[in-house]
Structure 1
Amino acid sequence: MNKNGSTYQIYVEILKRELVPAMGCTEPIAIAYCAAKAREALGTVPDRLVVTASGNIIKNVKSVVVPNTDGRRGIEAAAAIGVVAGDAHAALEVIAHVTAADKARLAGYLDTATITVEAAVSEHVLDIIVSASKGDDTAEVQIVNEHTNIVKITRNGKILFQKEIAATVDTGKPDYECMTIEDIYDFAMTCDLEDVRAILDRQIAYNTAIADEGLKNDYGANIGKTLLKAFGNDIHIRARARAAAGSDARMNGCELPVIINSGSGNQGMTVSLPVIEYAKEVGATKEQLYRALLLANLVTLHEKEGIGRLSAYCGAVSAGAGAGAGIAWLCGGDYQAVIHTIVNALAITSGIVCDGAKASCAAKISAAVDAGIMGFEMYRNGQQFYGGDGLVLKGVENTIRNISRLGRIGMKETDKEIIDMMIGK
């Protein structure tokens, strides 16, 4: 691919925009960020908070441990730590530098402040409004569509900042719709690695560190450890275990950051850690690892673009297929191997639903990585799923479009039912 061409530059910008650090599950972190911004706009620590959130935000915050809160879970904890100790200018690392003194103040704040949680009546899947008050003063901040995408800030009814919600997804955003698997493969194979080295080095370092932490200590259901104990140390198991261990740690309060993909730390770990483990196994060079990660990350982003950031469709499915693509190439596969791996993997795990961020995400990640590996093993053993096998259509882009339609449109009612069940309706 021509380095000076617009498509090449779009891919580089997408990677810079997407592969960024986040400390903690991105939905509670988005609430903490919104609350920190509301405190900043108010000009003091509020004693009353109202958090109005869309169903998918409620779903993904309800059961996950918020880092730096001494094991607390849920929306109230996320909003409170954002108010008490959040860095309003640190985006998804808003609570990355909380001190012991901050944690001590958190308990007192939760005891004295009034925090109310309400369900948003919104057409947006990702919608958060934090209203903060003290005395007669009020401030309100709204985030829509993406986890740090602030669309409105007010103080005492006066608008301090506002932009049209309809335009928010386009503001400063590269043209994701130009992506195709064919172009992604071309870019990954020809990219000047100096353009992406720092991005990928950070992904390798951060995500490896949290996987190590998950395997070393006790987090959640310890899916990563269980895989190794029950099934041994084969590369297929290690690839699944490393990704699962990262999620074990992250879903259960680990205070290490991860590099996300498609707005999700779980997806960022799923797409990268198995590829890193396979690179060690096959003795890949650093350049080969970089190119495999480029392929895996961009395949995942392409798959997720049609589904959306949040839905009833488990994001690990897309990331597992992306990891499978990277693994296929590392193991000597060509473009044909990559596209068949993607289709096979999506066919295997196309029915996994997202019922919120929590400990069991690690097990779903393991299943999605297994599907990615199985998709490649099918191909190199002369097996594949054909057009007409369930959601599979002839052509990788057609299959991706079907999966996108399933996640974005077909599972809308499923999403509503999941949310209703989770909040006890």
Structure 2
Amino acid sequence: MHPLIELIKKDMVPALGVTEPGCIAFAVAKAKSYLTSKPERVVLSLNSGLYKNAYTCGIPNSSHYGIKYAAAFGLIMADSQKGLQALEGITPDDDRKAEQLIQKDRIIVKLSGISSALYCQATVYSKHEECTVTIEQSHTNITSIRLNGQSIFHNVIQNRQDTTPLIHQYSVKDIWEAVRSFSEEELSFIQKAFDMNMSLFKEGLQSQKTVILHQLYRMNENTIFS
């Protein structure tokens, strides 16, 4: 597979809702999965970019939004096996349970630092256990898991500040020539992504929650051109 196609595919992972709440729920659910007793509370540590992007994001099938609710649903019902679709299947009962967790201050959120480099650390506590899952660089890239203070998984990663991003290694001419050499079959996944996004767009037109979509639609004279 050509490196450019691989790069695009890695950046086009389907998610249920916005990726940032999905990342938070995935981290919490993953940590929860290692506990043998009932999880009771969560402490999150997020970089500023993730914190900002998740702060006002709506949660699919819920009347709630934001970081704390993403973590609460991660604790209550999220399935880490589903990755960024971990929040699939929220019910009204889950909504009520999440509200109770928030009201009891069982979800604590901290800022790890001012940075655009993705960082999400979720520690889930039960009465006698704790598990910490750390995610870095991309929304499901687990770099560390610690269970009751002991490391059970560790993945050493390069410092991205010292590494030139792959896309920067190509000139515009390089990209243009590569694209012209790709077969239709190699690029078919882009059509699938377009179809998914168009379906989401049409669904959004039917919802009053998608405020920005409706504003852009009005600004475009209620015309769909792309």
Question: Normalising by the residue count of structure 2, what TM-score does the alignment of the two structures yield?
Answer: 0.85
- What aligned pairs does 1:259-274 form with structure 2 within 5 A after superposition? none
- What aligned pairs does 1:45-56 form with structure 2 within 5 A after superposition? 45-56=38-49
Contact 1:85 1:102 in 2 (8 A): yes
- What aligned pairs does 1:139-178 form with structure 2 within 5 A after superposition? 139-166=131-158, 175-178=166-169
State the partner residue of 1:14: 7
The percent of aligned pairs where both chains have the same amino acid is 26
Distance 1:34 1:169 in 2: 24
User: In the alignment, is residue 232 of structure 1 matched against residue 221 of structure 2?
Assistant: yes
Q: Shift in Å at residue 10 of structure 1?
A: 1.1
Distance 1:150 1:179 in 2: 28
The CA deviation string for residues 58-83 of structure 1, in whole angstroms up to 9 with x for no partner, is: 11111221223x22122110101112
Question: Normalising by the residue count of structure 1, what TM-score does the alignment of the two structures yield?
Answer: 0.48
State the partner residue of 1:184: 175
Specify which structure has the higher proportion of strand.
2
Q: Shift in Å at residue 30 of structure 1?
A: 1.0
Distance 1:168 1:86 in 2: 30
State the partner residue of 1:39: 32
Distance 2:217 2:157 in 1: 46
Q: Shift in Å at residue 104 of structure 1?
A: 4.8
Distance 2:139 2:7 in 1: 16
Distance 1:39 1:16 in 2: 29
Contact 2:25 2:71 in 1 (8 A): yes
Larger Rg: 1
Specify which structure has the higher proportion of helix.
1
The CA deviation string for residues 297-331 of structure 1, in whole angstroms up to 9 with x for no partner, is: xxxxxxxxxxxxxxxxxxxxxxxxxxxxxxxxxxx
The CA deviation string for residues 322-381 of structure 1, in whole angstroms up to 9 with x for no partner, is: xxxxxxxxxxxxxxxxxxxxxxxxxxxxxxxxxxxxxxxxxxxxxxxxxxxxxxxxxxxx
- The alpha-carbon distance between structure 1 residues 168 and 80, as it changes in their structure 2 partners (threshold 3 A), is farther
Contact 1:151 1:168 in 2 (8 A): no
Aligned to 1:22, the other structure's residue is in SS state: coil
191, 208, 211: which one aligns with 2:201:
211
* 2:136 alignment partner AA: V
* 1:238 alignment partner AA: I
* 1:156 alignment partner AA: N
Aligned to 1:90, the other structure's residue is in SS state: helix
What are structure 1's unaligned runs of at least 5 residues?
1-7, 240-276, 278-425
State the partner residue of 1:58: 51
CA RMSD of aligned residues (A): 2.7
Q: Shift in Å at residue 138 of structure 1?
A: 0.7
What are structure 2's unaligned runs of at least 5 residues?
none
State the partner residue of 1:347: none
The CA deviation string for residues 58-113 of structure 1, in whole angstroms up to 9 with x for no partner, is: 11111221223x22122110101112111112221111243455445434444456
